[in-house]
Amino acid sequence: MTITPRGELAGVEASLSSALGAGAVITAQAELDAYKADTYWPALAAKAAGEPMARPDVVVRPRTEEEVAAVLEIASEHGVPVVPWGGGSGTQGGALAVHGGVVIDLRSLDRVIEVDEIR
114 in any annotated domain:
no
117 in any annotated domain:
no
pTM of the model: 0.83
38 in any annotated domain:
yes
Whether residue 8 is predicted with pLDDT greater than 70 in this model: the reply is no
60-117 tens-digit pLDDT: 999 998 999 999 999 999 999 999 998 888 888 888 988 899 999 999 888 888 888 9
For residues 95 and 36, the answer to whether their CB atoms sit within 8 Å is no
12-31 tens-digit pLDDT: 999 999 999 878 999 999 99
**Residue 91's domain spans which residues?**
6-108
Please report, for the domain that includes residue 36, its CATH number. Answer: 3.30.43.10
115 in any annotated domain:
no
60 in any annotated domain:
yes
Across-strand partners of 26? 59
Alpha carbons 57 and 90: distance in angstroms, whole number: 20
